[in-house]
Chains A and B, each alone.
Chain A
Amino acid sequence: MTAPLVAPSTDESRSPAPVPRSVLTPRDALALGVQGLRGRRGRALLTSVGIAIGIAAIVAVIGISASSKANVLAVLDRLGTNYLTITPGQTLGSDEQAQLPPESVGRLSLLDHVQSVAATAQLGVTVRRTDVVPATNTKGTVVLAAEPDLLSTLNGRLRGGRWLDATPRDYPTVVLGVTAASRQGVDLSAGGQLVWIGDQWFAVVGILDEMPLAPELDNAALISTAVATQKFGYQGSPTTVYLRTSPADINGVRDVAAATADPVSPQEVDVTRPSDAIEARAATDSAFTTLLLGLGGVALLVGGVGIANVMVISVLERRGEIGVRRALGATRRHIRTQFLVEALVQAALGGLAGVLLGGAITVGYGLSMGWPIDLPVVGLAGGILAALVVGGVAGLYPASRAARLEPAQAVRPS
């Protein structure tokens, strides 16, 4: 390594040999930083904790929300995004709920690229666990008339039992959504169960799994349209029509769906794509996420202040060391570098611990939720980087204080 030379003395009578500059190789600087911390291991550890907690919180929040999004995408991947939901909108000029014409289902099923159509209709009756439960106590469960191909159209699955069919039985049959089953206290594994719908008993034959694309079915009691017509005088005006299209043509179908459902007043028809709503919900960070990120930021800040604090004390305590190093040839810059590296090493250790902890939290939480684990590398690298930035900023003031010490003052016996 060739060190640049300092200018020769201005003395004209002699020309002394120029003195090579002092150097501090990056390797030695790092060794000094680590050495300085090893001497104060306990203190350095405590100081790093703040940084570690801050980084862990930030990494965990990033990891958990990424895993949750990955889960949503995986779910959508399984269910497909080629669904449309058609519901009556507002009547023009009044607040009244519009109605879909009874023929809308038939017309929609004739559209090109539509693979499957099924409708539900809300009935004006209530479902209760038994006939002695008051009629007002419905637990939010609605009674829907469903067409037999509803389940296949939505790619839905049953958690237990079977779907509505035409097999004759002692009682008319009903299938409950997953929320409805738990709210009404119906458990098929305990044997056949009856619920009271309108003014008669129905046998529960099946319970649906969660329906992410049609969450309104989760708290519903589904009976067949035939039974609805026969028992409750159902007229055939659907409240929701579910469409499955070929994936490439969903936008084309979407454009004509309203006019097809109700050619007279297409503006009174709402067409939505439920996967859009799920994706949007997954993409927006919840207030909770923001709060956790904020807390992580505060912990990081406190950690940074802690490092600065401890370093200022350390500079005072190590006045003698600074003096000796200056006497041994260290420049102001070398002293500043040494203390800055110390702060950086401390922060990097905290950052590393934080990244590991945050990663562990993400994996643990993701596994407990049954999600695919997604730990963005950017998040991990960003965590370490954030710690280094905090450490660097925190070390700046103490390091420049150390560098400013006059050598003659620093070597004085304390």
Chain B
Amino acid sequence: MSRPVLEFVDVIHEYPGSPPVRALDHVTLTVSAGEWVAIVGPSGSGKSTLLNLMGALDQPTTGTVRIDGHDLAGLDDEQLSALRGRALGFVFQSFHLLAGMTALENVATALVYRGVPAAERRERAAAAMSRVGLGHRIGHRPAQLSGGESQRVAIARALVGAPSLVLADEPTGNLDSRTGEEIMGLFQELHREGTTLVLITHDQGIAAAAPRRVGIRDGKIVVSTRDGVTV
């Protein structure tokens, strides 16, 4: 099997409180390069918590999380930030585009913290915009884009740095079903081109598009299938 991009070993995550909320309970999971994984579960099951750990945005309470071979436990803020910027691409449910910038500048921002020179940032951002089918919208501001276009810009921003892993939390949650299908089509293409994808959804129908499905409930993994076969 190919190189693991993401490894969870016996991960517990608790939010502080009395009693503490156990959002992830003994999760063990491996995602390999080139895989497309859909994580499905009802509201409050721990999907976003799982994604935060996958994205090095948070640390596990106990257990081991490795991204691209780097154990999060040994990393400080500088190193975690570097890992996010280099190895990961994020797509959020609410797009999170920066309102004061054009679509192109939004995409190019993903390369700022890598020290890429401004001219090269622009070129690569334009290429990523074309890749998601928005080559004609580069000068538009987020307020001038439809929801589907906004999410495409966000996907271009996640892809422009050629990350090892793209993480998407309910990427179609704010879109109508038709636009949502178009976005899923784009993910399908990216997967075929070799992008490693983890997609979070509470919608079984959307999850059905992914070859690998992981079901989560009350912080525990309850099903894990690849091409219909339990793994």
Contacts and interface: CB of A to CB of B under 8 A. Distances in A.
A16 B70 contact: yes
B82 interface: yes
B79 interface: yes
Interface in A1-50: 1, 3, 6-11, 14-16, 19-25, 28, 32, 35-36, 38-39
Given A21-B78, A22-B85, A328 B71 contact: no
B21 to A, nearest CB: 14
A327 interface: yes
Contacts of A328: 84-85, 90, 109-110, 112-113, 157
Contact of B86 (A38, A326, A329): A329
Interface in B75-108: 75, 77-79, 81-88, 90, 92-94, 96, 98-101
A10 B48 CA distance: 27
By CB atoms of chain A within 10 A, which of B86, B113, B114 has the most?
B113
Interface string B55-89: 10110000000101111011101110111111110
Interface of A: 1, 3, 6-11, 14-16, 19-25, 28, 32, 35-36, 38-39, 320-321, 323-334, 406-408, 411-414
B52 interface: yes
Nearest to A16: B69
B20 interface: no
Contact of B90 (A16, A20, A23, A327): A327
A319 B154 CA distance: 17
B74 A331 contact: no
12 contacts: A1-B115, A3-B115, A6-B83, A10-B73, A11-B69, A19-B79, A36-B100, A38-B100, A39-B100, A320-B94, A324-B92, A406-B58
Contacts of B157: 328
B74 A22 contact: no
B79 A329 contact: no
B57 A408 contact: yes
A25 to B, nearest CB: 7
Given A24-B112, A411-B96, A413-B92, A19 B87 contact: yes
Interface of B: 48, 52, 55, 57-58, 66, 68-71, 73-75, 77-79, 81-88, 90, 92-94, 96, 98-101, 109-110, 112-115, 118, 157
B71 A327 contact: no
A19 B68 CA distance: 10
A184 B74 CA distance: 93
B66 A9 contact: yes
Contacts of A22: 78, 81-82, 85, 113-114
A329 B112 CA distance: 9
A390 B64 CA distance: 46
The 10 A-B pairs with the shortest beta carbon distances in the complex, nearest first, are: A329-B85, A16-B69, A39-B100, A329-B113, A23-B115, A6-B79, A408-B58, A22-B113, A331-B81, A9-B70
Nearest to A324: B96
A23 B114 contact: yes
A14 B77 contact: no
Contacts of B86: 19-20, 329
A320 B81 contact: no
A9 B93 CA distance: 31
Contacts of B88: 327
Given A9-B70, A320-B96, A408-B52, A331 B78 contact: yes
Given A327-B90, A328-B110, A21 B74 contact: no
A32 B109 CA distance: 10
Nearest to A407: B57
A8 B98 CA distance: 33
A349 B74 CA distance: 43
A411 B69 contact: no
By CB atoms of chain A within 10 A, which of B55, B57, B87 has the most?
B57
Contacts of B101: 35
A334 B113 contact: yes
A331 B115 CA distance: 13
Given A22-B113, A327-B55, A411 B82 contact: no
